[in-house]
Amino acid sequence: MEFIQVLYKVSALAPLVLMAGVALLAWLGRFSDATLWRILRVGSFAALAMTGLAIVTSYQGMLWPGVIKATGLSMVMAALVQMLGTVIGGFSSRYLQGESGQARYVAALAAVLAAVHLLVLADHWVLLIGAWAFVGVALQSLLCFYPDRPFALLAAHKKRIADRLADVMLIVVAALAWVEVGSGSLSALMAHLSQHTISSALQVSAVALVLAVILRTALLPVHGWLIQVMEAPTPVSALLHAGVVNLGGVVLIQFAPLLEQATPARLLLLVVGLATAVLAGMVMLTRISIKVRLAWSTVAQMGFLLMECALGLYTLAALHLLGHSLYKAHAFLSASGIVRQTRLQALHGDSKPNALSLLWAPLLTISAVQLTTSLSAHAAWPWWWSAVLGLAWAPMIWQPAAPAGFAFRAGQLLTGLLMVFGLALAAMLAHALPLGLHNAPHPLLGLIALTGMATLYLCQAMLQRWPHLLSRWRRWSYAGFYVDEAYTRLALQLWPTRWIPHAGTHIKQEAITDVSR
């Protein structure tokens, strides 16, 4: 048993040492670009193997009491990050071939992977805040890899502002919790919450934590940088959308005991997450660019993910996080193939859904989800969440309005239903994973979420079937409801920057509005 503990600790901490070593070697600049890429590939693969070994040993506990702790969820997240780093590193070596500044890119990428690994294992406020801040600092170099692209610099500038505000919020959270508990250990905080009723100070700290996660996860109204970061290299976009932006969800799941007792914080998280999911989902329907649609999709998915955390469905949130990371990494790294596929789909004619199917599709998908849930002796989620998922998945079985044969329509319906059953079953099976999570569903907040998803479904159906009825609304949706423009103008007025002369003037704002469209 002692040998297993030692092996677990070594394998869990080795990825941090390996990635930090790769970053240091690249920063020193004593190797050729080709050699650095080989070092990164070997280092990232070794880090992935060591993380896998740590998961196989199935030992969980303190790696450094009160400072670093490994759980089932944290090790799964660490493995996911290292796998994404290995794939993105290999893609980047080909994507950036012949470019200058590759050593700086390798150093920043390895530093991000090391900081993220440290973040998911952090069990102390100082380590958590420092690791998350360092992720943002290392990421700035990747976002500004092309320094001659003004909107890449704008995105990095806006992200820097959101990160610093989030750091302030996290410091407030840490100070209030530290004074209340008498320790900076996160495990001590969880133990305190299990033995005492939450105090007013911890209620405030929970609200500040939610605000910090909103700022870090690119929810409204600070979502614009995640859209404009399309100016960065494609593998950087994949790293952001598949990995870094999901960290807010990881942190919230880790602080589930605090959220469970903090109803005001959960309500705030639900309102912002639901508004983000609804508005971003509508904007995504009106965009043509594949990469921009993927970016808006990420914003919507982050809103949906944090909404799951607000509702207390932490196991589903963890599964959503894993699935979204893998999907977005594949989507960005194969964006050219998605473009070709979209063009081929457009050749099939009218893509509008049949009006009648807009009515019976949600009833069928909700019934399918509820039926899958009933197969378990203990329902994995309440009925209102089955309705939310059914509304979200209903478009998969919409029937086309264009003339089509019975065989085509039946095949499309069967395929869609199989996908719904498969997704619901996967969500059910996720509860058997040893993640150490306990759900705490909130019925009243669930009804609010259901109302919001019904509104999104109605708007989505009308935009797809009768766009002329919402022509003015569609124009506002295409412009992102001008939320980012207001935030950008305020950000540049309060925190001007030298590379945008006369920051905040109408000339620069017109350019910002144009690129957001």
Backbone angles phi, psi at 289, to 5 degrees: -60, 130
Q: Let me know if residue 504 belongs to a domain.
A: no
Q: Which residues contact 281 (CB under 8 A, 6 or more apart)?
A: 300, 456, 460
415 half-sphere exposure, CB direction, 13 A CA radius: 10
**Triad 47, 53, 54: Cα angle to 5°:** 90
Q: Let me know if residue 162 belongs to a domain.
A: yes
pLDDT of residue 320: 85
**Triad 52, 305, 386: Cα angle to 5°:** 105
* Bridge partners, 68 (sequence order): 64, 122
Do 491 and 158 contact (CB within 8 A), yes or no? yes
pLDDT of residue 383: 84
Question: SS3 of 493, please?
Answer: helix
Q: Which residues contact 505 (CB under 8 A, 6 or more apart)?
A: none
Do 216 and 160 contact (CB within 8 A), yes or no? no
**pLDDT truncated to tens, each residue of the chain (517 aa)?**
577 778 878 888 889 999 999 999 999 888 888 999 999 999 999 998 988 888 877 666 667 777 888 887 888 888 888 898 899 999 999 989 888 889 999 999 999 999 999 999 999 999 999 999 999 999 988 888 888 887 778 888 888 899 999 999 999 999 999 999 999 999 999 999 989 889 999 999 999 999 999 999 989 888 888 888 777 888 888 888 888 888 999 999 999 999 999 999 999 999 999 999 888 888 887 776 777 888 888 899 999 999 999 998 888 888 888 888 888 887 877 765 555 555 545 444 446 788 888 888 889 989 888 888 777 655 567 888 888 888 888 888 888 777 667 777 788 788 888 888 888 887 777 777 767 778 888 888 889 889 988 988 888 788 777 766 666 666 777 777 788 888 888 888 878 776 554 434 333 433 433 443 3
Q: How far is CA 258 from CA 29, 66, 193, 312, 440, in A?
A: 45, 18, 7, 11, 11
Q: Let me know if residue 514 belongs to a domain.
A: no
- Identify which of 219, 380, 388 has the alpha carbon closest to the alpha carbon of residue 313: 380
Whether residue 424 is found in the same domain as residue 359: yes
pLDDT of residue 511: 40
What's the predicted TM-score (pTM) here?
0.86
Backbone angles phi, psi at 122, to 5 degrees: -65, 135
pLDDT of residue 116: 93
Q: What's the CA dihedral at 475, 478, 479, 480 to 10 degrees?
A: 120
Query: How far is residue 258's CA from residue 250's CA, in Å, rounded to a whole number?
Result: 14
Q: Let me know if residue 95 belongs to a domain.
A: yes
Whether residue 296 is found in the same domain as residue 184: yes
**Triad 250, 19, 141: Cα angle to 5°:** 80
Whether residue 271 is found in the same domain as residue 367: no
**Triad 88, 138, 73: Cα angle to 5°:** 65
Do 272 and 214 contact (CB within 8 A), yes or no? yes
Whether residue 245 is found in the same domain as residue 223: yes
Instruction: Quote the number of domains for the chain.
Output: 3
Query: How far is residue 21's CA from residue 192's CA, in Å, rounded to a whole number?
Result: 37
Whether residue 405 is found in the same domain as residue 438: yes
Query: How far is residue 253's CA from residue 438's CA, in Å, rounded to a whole number?
Result: 10
pLDDT of residue 376: 64
Q: Let me know if residue 509 belongs to a domain.
A: no
Question: SS3 of 185, please?
Answer: strand
Whether residue 220 is found in the same domain as residue 333: yes
Whether residue 236 is found in the same domain as residue 371: no
pLDDT of residue 503: 39
Q: Of 94, 123, 152, at which residue does a domain stop?
A: 123
Whether residue 287 is found in the same domain as residue 323: yes
Q: Let me know if residue 44 belongs to a domain.
A: yes
Do 52 and 81 contact (CB within 8 A), yes or no? no
CATH code at 49?
1.20.120
Q: Let me know if residue 517 belongs to a domain.
A: no
Rg (CA), the chain: 23
Whether residue 370 is found in the same domain as residue 291: no
Whether residue 329 is found in the same domain as residue 384: no
Whether residue 50 is found in the same domain as residue 76: yes
Q: Let me know if residue 503 belongs to a domain.
A: no
Domain that holds residue 176: 144-340+479-497
Whether residue 266 is found in the same domain as residue 407: no
